[in-house]
């Protein structure tokens, strides 16, 4: 008798959902479809020759270590390099014991979920929020409290109100999850005043903050704002960083900065997940930083992405109907478009595919898919010509729905 696998799966696995973005991208894998859907860097910018040279040196001269298992925390020399980078950023009292290397920041989200979330625990997320974060938290059966955003990021007044309401019911909130810089999907940045407020709330109500910051180094206009982990003075912030957006996602490397007791628990969780992140790519990333290549590469990335962002905003202004609006990011990868509430962007997606253009539906970025009148557009992967034509095609189907 063959096994009925559905009866063997754990209760936790039954709550897991496929990534809406990954599923959508399967539909757009066609050369004649202009995809404004992905969240990927422009591969034309990857420093292939530089990485090839570094890789050759790493494997020929340090292959014994680069091809071997490494420490769960990460190879010491990369961690030391990242600690020094963090200190130069302004993070106070940062030591090796406060940092662990992860297999990109998605593993960071999984590990944080693993050590903090019990079934039916409550966490606070932005609305909208990063789909990969929601997916990780949902896999550990979290309950969600959502807080709306505006052009200055999460509404801290509503955040405090919802925390009070939740705690008055005897419910313990495990953490607040935020993407403060060029948020995915909304593209907005948490203002300095709200950064101060969210830290005050964290301190006053004794709630940790998970600061997911994959885009902070991709600011191409405006002034840099201090990170939450940099501003915090009592260790309430757990900061997730990644090389995926500032170097290359194929390296599958990220890191977490946190209180040493949190790092110790993350080490145990990571040992059970993958023992260690790849030693080879850790050595490559370390050399890329130490030899000074990162600064020039990021300068190129910022310049190119700004040009593409400007192209998208001009195209939206030119083609989209006056009944729509959109965010104007100062960095990152995304523009968040609002359409009239009577337009269902889930249903509109199929029409968009017929017109050979793709986007990500707004509902993907809410725990229960409750929003149906937003779309996320990516400007980093397509060419400027594709951005112009893609926005034009999308505008055509939206205009047809305007009442």
CATH number at residue 13: 3.90.1150.10
Q: Is the dihedral of CA 80, 83, 88, 93 positive or negative?
A: negative
| Rounded CA separation 330/347 (Å) | 30
101 and 115 housed in the same domain = yes
Listed residues 240, 272, 293: the one ending a domain = 293
What is the rounded average pLDDT of the residues 181-196?
Answer: 98
Q: In this structure, are residues 222 and 330 in contact, taking their beta carbons and an 8 Å threshold? A: yes
Q: What is the pLDDT of residue 24?
A: 62
Instruction: Assess whether 112 and 254 both reside in one domain.
Output: yes
Inside any domain, residue 107: yes
Residue 29, pLDDT score: 65
In a domain, 17, yes or no: yes
One domain for residues 313 and 266: no
Closest CA to 75 of 289, 293, 281: 281
Residues 177 and 122 placed together within one structural domain of the fold: yes
| Domain's final residue, options 264, 293, 322 | 293
Whether residue 343 sits in one domain with residue 262: no
In a domain, 128, yes or no: yes
Query: What number is the average pLDDT over the span 194-213?
Result: 98
- DSSP state at residue 219: B
Together in a domain, 204 and 323: no
Task: Tell me whether residue 53 is in a domain.
Answer: no
- b/e string for 357-375 if b means 16 or more Cβ within 10 A? bbbbbbbbbbbeeebbbbb
pLDDT band at 357 (very low <50, low <70, confident <90, very high): very high
The reply to whether 138 falls in a domain is yes
Cα distances from 37 to residues 136, 257, 301, in angstroms, run 21, 30, 19
User: What pLDDT was estimated at residue 14?
Assistant: 79
112-136 pLDDT, tens digit per residue, is 999 999 999 999 999 999 999 999 9
Element holding 210 (H helix, E strand) = strand 209-212
Q: Supply the pTM of this predicted model.
A: 0.95
DSSP state of 347: H
H or E, element range at 385: helix 384-399
Phi, psi at residue 296, to the nearest 5°? -65, -40
For residue 89, give the CATH number of its domain: 3.40.640.10
pLDDT for 57 equals: 97
Phi, then psi, of 357 in degrees rounded to 5 = -145, 145
Average pLDDT, the chain: 95
DSSP per residue over 29-44, as a string? -STTSEE-------GG
Q: Do 229 and 327 belong to one domain?
A: no
| Shared domain check, 308 and 185 | no
Say whether both 289 and 315 belong to one domain.
no
Residues 106, 229 within the same domain: yes
User: Which domain, by its residues, includes 143?
Assistant: 67-293
What is the number of structural domains in the chain?
2
Helix orientation angle between 192-205 and 156-168, rounded to the nearest 10 degrees? 10
Say if residue 21's pLDDT is above 90: no
Provide the pLDDT confidence category of residue 26 given band limits of 50, 70 and 90: low
Q: What integer pLDDT is reported at residue 317 of this predicted model?
A: 98
Task: Give the Å distances, CA to CA, from 143 to 122, 185, 368.
Answer: 5, 21, 11
Q: Of 3-7, 82-86, 178-182, 222-226, which range is least confident?
A: 3-7
> Are the beta carbons of 394 and 36 closer than 8 angstroms?
yes
pLDDT in tens, 297-338: 999 999 999 999 999 999 999 999 999 999 999 999 999 999
CB 21 within 8 A of CB 37: yes
Task: For the chain, report the end-to-end CA distance as a whole number of angstroms.
Answer: 58
- DSSP 3-state assignment of 367? coil
Min mean pLDDT across 4-8, 74-78, 98-102, 248-252 is at 4-8
CA distance 211 to 227: 8
End-of-domain residue from the set 273, 293, 313: 293
Is residue 238 domain-resident? yes
Q: What is the CA radius of gyration of the chain?
A: 21
Q: Is residue 154 part of a domain?
A: yes
* Residues 138 and 282 placed together within one structural domain of the fold: yes
In a domain, 78, yes or no: yes
Q: Are residues 274 and 302 in the same domain?
A: no
């Amino acid at each position: 008798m063959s096994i009925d696998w559905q009866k063997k799966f754990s209760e936790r696995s039954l709550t897991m959902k496929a990534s809406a973005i990954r599923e959508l991208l399967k539909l757009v894998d066609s050369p004649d479809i202009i995809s404004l859907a992905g969240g990927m860097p422009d591969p034309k910018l990857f420093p292939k020759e530089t990485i090839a040279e570094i890789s050759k040196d790493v494997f020929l001269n340090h292959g014994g270590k680069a091809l071997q298992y490494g420490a769960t925390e990460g190879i010491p020399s990369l961690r030391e390099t990242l600690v020094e980078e963090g200190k130069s950023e302004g993070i106070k009292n940062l030591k090796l014991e406060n940092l662990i290397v992860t297999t990109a920041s998605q593993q960071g989200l999984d590990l944080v979920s693993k050590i903090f979330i019990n079934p039916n625990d409550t966490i606070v997320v932005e609305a909208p929020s990063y789909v990969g974060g929601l997916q990780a938290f949902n896999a550990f059966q979290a309950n969600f409290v959502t807080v709306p955003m505006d052009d200055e990021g999460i509404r801290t007044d509503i955040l405090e109100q919802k925390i009070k309401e939740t705690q008055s019911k005897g419910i313990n909130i495990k953490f607040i999850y935020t993407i403060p810089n060029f948020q995915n999907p909304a593209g907005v940045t948490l203002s300095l005043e709200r950064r101060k407020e969210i830290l005050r709330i964290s301190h006053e109500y004794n709630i940790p903050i998970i600061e997911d910051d994959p885009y902070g180094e991709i600011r191409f206009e405006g002034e840099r704002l201090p990170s939450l982990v940099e501003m915090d003075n009592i260790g309430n912030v757990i900061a997730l960083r990644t090389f995926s957006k500032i170097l290359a996602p194929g390296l599958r490397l990220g890191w977490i900065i946190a209180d040493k007791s949190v790092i110790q628990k993350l080490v145990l969780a990571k040992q059970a997940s993958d023992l260690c992140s790849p030693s080879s790519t850790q050595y490559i990333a370390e050399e890329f930083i130490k030899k000074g290549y990162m600064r020039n590469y990021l300068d190129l990335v910022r310049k190119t992405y700004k040009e593409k962002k400007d192209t998208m905003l001009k195209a939206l202004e030119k083609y989209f109907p006056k009944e729509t609006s959109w965010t104007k990011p100062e960095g990152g990868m995304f523009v968040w478009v609002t359409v009239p509430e009577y337009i269902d962007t889930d249903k509109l997606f199929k029409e968009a595919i017929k017109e050979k253009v793709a986007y990500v539906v707004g509902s993907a970025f809410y725990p229960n898919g409750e929003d149906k009148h937003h779309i996320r557009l990516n400007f980093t992967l397509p060419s400027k010509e594709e951005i112009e034509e893609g926005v034009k095609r999308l505008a055509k189907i939206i205009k047809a729905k305007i009442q």
